[in-house]
Amino acid sequence: MRSQQFSEWIFVFLMIGILLFSGIIIALLFSRNRPKKIRLGERLLFTAIILGVVVAVIIAAMQMLGGVLF
């Protein structure tokens, strides 16, 4: 029972992280103060964040479907 509660809190933490990183991406992409051309490092950073969010969602969905979380 304790491991199920632990898994549920990890899932909640995962969802909070996904919302946080998605908010950062949206805030930076639609900011009025951003430069006209995005630098290579910034593009790589956004790509890494987006891929991380996608992988996290896939892993969470697989765990839910596998019955690990609920």
Structure-block tokens of residue 45: 């950073």
Is it the case that residue 68 has pLDDT exceeding 70? no
Residue range 16-40, pLDDT digits in tens? 888 888 888 788 778 888 777 878 9
Q: What is the 3-state secondary structure (H, E, C) of 4-29?
A: HHHHHHHHHHHHHHHHHHHHHHHHHH
Residue range 47-61, pLDDT digits in tens? 888 888 888 888 877
How many whole angstroms separate alpha carbon 21 and alpha carbon 15?
Answer: 10
Is it the case that residue 5 has pLDDT exceeding 60? yes
The mean pLDDT of 2-29, rounded to a whole number, is 77
Question: How sure is the predictor about 2, in pLDDT bands with cuts at 50, 70 and 90?
Answer: low
Inter-residue contact 40 to 46 (CB < 8 Å): no
Count up the domains in the chain and report the number.
1
pLDDT at 8: 72
Residue 34 belongs to domain spanning = 2-66
Q: How many CB atoms lie within 10 A of CB 25?
A: 15
The separation between CA 64 and the C-alpha centre of its own chain, rounded to angstroms, equals: 17
